[in-house]
Amino acid sequence: MRCVRLHAPRDLRLESAPDPKPGPRQALVRVHSVGICGSDLHYYEEGRIGSNKMTVPFVLGHEFAGTIEGVGEGIDPARIGQRVAVEPGTPCFVCEHCTRGEYNVCPKMAFPGGPGHDGALCDFMAVPAEFCFPVPESMGHDEAAAIEPLAVALHSVELAGMRPGDTVAVLGTGPIGLLIAMAARVSGAVTIYGADLLPYRVAAAAACGVDHACDASKEDTVEAIFRATGGRGVDVAFDAARSSETAALACRVARPGGTCVLTGISGAVEDPIPVEVARRKGLTVRWCRRFRHNYPRAIALVSAGLIDVKKIVSHSFPLERTPEAFALVSRAGDRVLKASIDF
Ligand SMILES: [Zn+2]
Ligand SMILES: [Zn+2]
């Protein structure tokens, strides 16, 4: 089969690899669509995310969807032909965290598209059949691939313990921030503030339902949100940026007693947090680690038309043009939000 392998930062090559075979309880999925994620971009640009560093070439991609073309032992062959969104990552299923339902933090998680585990930028993936979630015919493969970042957004909103009528700030209105804004809205957010350094992403925020989008390249985000909220701050502040500064901003724009959810990945091992601000306000700060149990609800929300993931997919490229797609996302060219590889 074909695959696109990362050999070194900014060095992606179209190569071939043996076709995988589905093992027990696995499905063989023909991949049709892979979304490029901010985390893929860290490997593409830096060859690492914090301490997780690439040592040998590997295949990127973990936001994917396709069609089941084969099944391993123990899986009903009637599933062949199903169009599915695939929840990436195979936890061990038996450790303390897995049995508690918190499988997203399983220490033995095998997550595709990171060092040591080839990802989905290839023709076939063998994955646990229970993580292959059927999607309706009306949902495009690119939309089905975007269920993955939507699952991240839903998990973020759940961690916030949002209540109807909450005010929200989303720092960083790239694809994840926009999906968080949409997820926050259906969770009852009454006013959503957004901020981004890229003017076209400020405009995208308004198009995705953000009520007040702040151009952080021109105005101070904290001042803008304080002005708009009469100095109170917001109930929930989400950090959805690839920045070392936004965790601190989230703490500053949250109201006393409010909640911060840190979802963005800066790529650094340590980022500054204003502990005095956080302590005096008595903030609850939570970190989002991917998702757990979110796929069925993400698919239901999109199927019901309550969240439109098409709003974040701005570009489509065939597999052989993957290097071009990464270069575009890396330079934030052509007003790109999410680039999708469709094949
Ligand atoms: Zn992702
Ligand atoms: Zn486990």
pLDDT tens string 190-244: 999 999 999 999 999 999 999 999 999 999 999 999 999 999 999 999 999 999 9
Q: Model-level pTM?
A: 0.97
Considering the domain architecture, whether residues 320 and 245 belong to the same structural domain is answered as no
The neighbourhood of ligand 2, an ion, using CB within 5 A, equals: 91-92, 95, 98, 106
Which band of pLDDT confidence, cut at 50, 70 and 90, is reported for residue 49?
Answer: very high
Q: How far is CA 189 from CA 164, 182, 206, 295, in A?
A: 6, 9, 15, 21
Report, as an integer, the average pLDDT of 54-81: 98
pLDDT score recorded for residue 335: 97
Mean pLDDT computed over 158-167: 97
239 and 132 in a common domain: no
Is 301 inside any structural domain?
A: no
Residues 277 and 316 in one domain: no
The domain total for the chain is: 2
Same domain, 95 and 163: no
279 and 328 part of one domain: no
Question: 62 CA to middle of ligand 1, Å?
Answer: 6
> Do 47 and 85 belong to one domain?
yes
- Average pLDDT of every residue of the chain: 97
pLDDT of residue 115: 93
Residues 24 and 137 in one domain: yes
Q: Is residue 333 part of a domain?
A: yes
The stretch 239-258 carries a mean pLDDT of 98
Instruction: Return the pLDDT at 225.
Output: 98
Same domain, 75 and 173: no
pLDDT band at 110 (very low <50, low <70, confident <90, very high): very high
With CA atoms as reference, report the closest residue to 326 among 119, 21, 105, 31.
119
Domain that holds residue 232: 153-287
What CATH number does the domain containing 31 carry?
A: 3.90.180.10
Taking the CA of 61 as reference, the closest ligand is 1
Residues in the chain: 343
- Report yes or no on 280 lying in a domain: yes
Same domain, 40 and 119: yes
User: Stretch 39-56: mean pLDDT, rounded?
Assistant: 95
SS3 content of the chain, % helix, strand, coil (to 5): 30, 30, 40
How many angstroms is it from 92 CA to the middle of ligand 1? 20
Beta bridge partners of 68: 29
Compute, in angstroms, the gap from residue 89 CA to the centroid of ligand 2: 11
* Cα 121 to ligand 1 centroid, rounded to whole Å: 13
Dihedral sign of CA atoms 118, 123, 125, 131 in order: positive
Does residue 293 form part of some domain?
no
CA neighbor of 195 nearest in space, from 176, 220, 175: 220
Distance 87 CA to ligand 2 centre (A): 16
Instruction: Judge whether 300 lies within some domain.
Output: no
The answer on 282 and 158 residing in a single domain is yes
User: pLDDT tens digit string along 85-107?
Assistant: 999 999 999 999 999 999 999 99
Q: Is residue 297 part of a domain?
A: no
pLDDT in tens, 271-324: 999 999 999 999 999 999 999 999 999 999 999 999 999 999 999 999 999 999
Same domain for 184 and 221, yes or no, is yes
Amino acid 148 reads E
Q: Taking the alpha carbons of 240, 11, 122, 102 in that order, is the dihedral positive or negative? A: negative
| 115 and 165 assigned to the same domain | no
